[in-house]
Amino acid sequence: MMRRGRGARLVLLVAATGLLSGCGDDENSPTAAPPLSGTSIKILSGRADMVTDGDALVEVVLPTGAVPANLRVAVGGRDQSSNFALRSNGRVTGLVSGLAAGANVIEVTATNNSFAGARLTLTNAGINAPVLLSSHINPYICATPQPGTATVTNASGLSTAPTDTQCTTRTETKLYYRTLTAAGTGGCAFVLPDPSPTAANPNPTTPANSCFQPYVTGTTQAALIATTTPIGVTAAVPYIVRVERGVINRGIYDLAVLFDPNRPWTFESPQPQWAGKVVHNFGGSTGQPRFQARPNSSWVDDTALSRGYMVAVNSLTDSANNSNRVLVAETVMKMKEHIIEQYGELRGYIGNGASGGAINQNTVASIAPGLLDGLQIQLDFADSVTTAIEVSDCVQLVNFYAGPAWTGLMRQQGLSQAQINAKKTAINGHLDQLGCHSWSNAFGSANKPGNYQAVLVINAAGALFTSPTVTNNCRLPAAQVYDPASNPGGIRCSDPDAAIAVWGTAPGTNRANQTNDNVGVQYGLKALQSGAITAEEFVTLNEGVGGSDADSNLIPQRSTADAEGLRIAYRAGILVSGTQVSRVPIIDQRTPDEQGIHYNWRSFSQRDRLARDNGGNFGNQVIWRSNGGISLASRSLVAMDTWLNALNAQAPKASTNAVRNQAQILAAKPAAAFDFCYLSTDTSYSTQVRDFGICDSDPPLVIRSSPRQVAGGPRAEDILKCQLKALNFADYGNITFTTEQQSRLRAVFAGGVCDWSRPGGVNQEPSVSPLNFAAGPGGVPFAAEPVSTPI
d(CA 185, CA 53): 44
pLDDT at 12 over 50: no
The mean pLDDT of 229-244, rounded to a whole number, is 95
pLDDT value at position 18? 38
Pairing of strands 118-125, 102-110: antiparallel
Give the pLDDT confidence of 192-225 residue by residue, as tens digits: 999 999 999 999 999 999 999 999 999 999 999 9
Alpha-carbon separation of residue 306 from 149, 175, 183, 232, 589 (angstroms) = 39, 15, 13, 12, 21
pLDDT value at position 96? 66
pLDDT at 27 over 60: no
CB 71 within 8 A of CB 14: yes
| pTM of this structure | 0.95
Mapped onto helix, strand or coil, the DSSP state of residue 175 is strand
CB 256 within 8 A of CB 325: no
d(CA 366, CA 379): 18
pLDDT value at position 268? 85
Best CA proximity match to 335, nearest among 260, 402, 252: 252
pLDDT value at position 82? 75
pLDDT at 80 over 80: no
Q: Which residue has the higher pLDDT, 15 or 48?
A: 48
Please give the backbone phi and psi of residue 435, each rounded to the nearest 5 degrees, phi first.
-60, -50
pLDDT value at position 764? 97
pLDDT value at position 392? 98
CB 353 within 8 A of CB 360: yes
pLDDT value at position 739? 98
d(CA 708, CA 3): 53
- For residue 427, the number of C-alpha atoms closer than 13 Å in the C-beta half-sphere is 31
Name beta bridge partners: 465: 456
Give residue 382's identity as a one-letter amino acid code. A
Residue 354 Ramachandran class (φ > 0 left, ψ -120 to 50 alpha, else beta): beta
Give residue 791's identity as a one-letter amino acid code. I
Alpha-carbon separation of residue 230 from 192, 259, 272 (angstroms) = 22, 12, 10
- Please state which of the ranges 14-28, 332-346, 376-390, 493-507 shows the lowest mean pLDDT: 14-28
Give the chain's largest Cα–Cα span.
109
Cα of first residue to Cα of last residue in the chain, in angstroms, is 36
pLDDT at 19 over 50: no
Mapped onto helix, strand or coil, the DSSP state of residue 64 is coil
Best CA proximity match to 59, nearest among 791, 648, 655, 659: 655
pLDDT at 6 over 50: no
Grade residue 719 by pLDDT with cuts at 50, 70 and 90. Answer: very high
d(CA 787, CA 40): 8
Q: Which residue has the higher pLDDT, 19 or 748?
A: 748
Reported residue count of the chain is: 791
Give the pLDDT confidence of 625-673 residue by residue, as tens digits: 999 999 999 999 999 999 999 999 999 999 999 999 999 999 999 999 9
Q: CA 421, 423, 427, 429 torsion: positive or negative? A: positive
Give all strands (DSSP E) within 300-450, no chain letters.
310-314, 348-354, 374-378
Best CA proximity match to 346, nearest among 275, 265, 264, 246: 275
CB 303 within 8 A of CB 634: yes
d(CA 525, CA 531): 10
Q: Cα-atom radius of gyration of the chain, to the nearest Å?
A: 29
Q: Which residues of 552-565 are buried (b: 16+ CB within 10 A; e: fewer)?
A: bebeeebbbbbebb
DSSP state, 454? -
Give the pLDDT confidence of 552-591 residue by residue, as tens digits: 999 999 999 999 999 999 999 999 999 999 999 999 999 9
d(CA 167, CA 383): 29
The mean pLDDT of 756-767, rounded to a whole number, is 95
Pairing of strands 374-378, 586-590: parallel
d(CA 300, CA 239): 13
d(CA 772, CA 49): 12
In the CATH scheme, what architecture does the domain 9-126 have? Answer: Sandwich (2.60)
Name beta bridge partners: 773: 133
The mean pLDDT of 162-191, rounded to a whole number, is 96
pLDDT value at position 56? 85
CB 121 within 8 A of CB 105: yes
Which percentage of the chain shows pLDDT scores above 90?
88
pLDDT value at position 636? 97
Name beta bridge partners: 94: 12
Domain boundaries, the chain: 9-126, 127-323, 385-446+448-493+518-560+724-754
Grade residue 23 by pLDDT with cuts at 50, 70 and 90. Answer: very low
Mapped onto helix, strand or coil, the DSSP state of residue 286 is coil
State which H helix or E strand residue 419 sits in: helix 417-428
pLDDT at 20 over 60: no
